[in-house]
């Protein structure tokens, strides 16, 4: 049976292992990305719930997140605004 040179075999096997590891790493990163996107969605949901809670208590206000001070929002649609 015909064979390639040992050094050629070693070279291609090494490269194949490297490629496999890179593909595995991409899969791991995509899994982490998926998890983080779900975490972001959950954080946004909680933020919306907090906004509704605050709006129910204080009405349509703009809140300074550094001081906690708030002022009324004078808009026709009475939406809630957070100042960062």
d(CA 24, CA 17): 10
Tell me the whole-structure pTM to 2 decimals.
0.67
- Confidence band, pLDDT 50/70/90 cuts, at residue 69: very high
- Which pLDDT value is given to residue 77? 57
d(CA 38, CA 81): 24
The 10s digit of each residue's pLDDT in 14-38 is: 999 999 999 999 999 999 999 999 9
């Amino acid at each position: 049976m015909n064979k390639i040179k040992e050094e050629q075999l070693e070279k291609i096997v090494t490269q194949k292992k490297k490629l496999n590891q890179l593909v595995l790493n991409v899969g791991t990163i995509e899994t982490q990305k998926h998890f983080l996107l779900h975490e972001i969605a959950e954080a946004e949901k909680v933020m919306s719930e907090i906004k509704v809670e605050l709006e129910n208590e204080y009405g349509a206000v703009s809140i300074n997140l550094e001081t906690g001070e708030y002022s009324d929002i004078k808009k026709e649609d009475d939406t809630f605004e957070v100042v960062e």
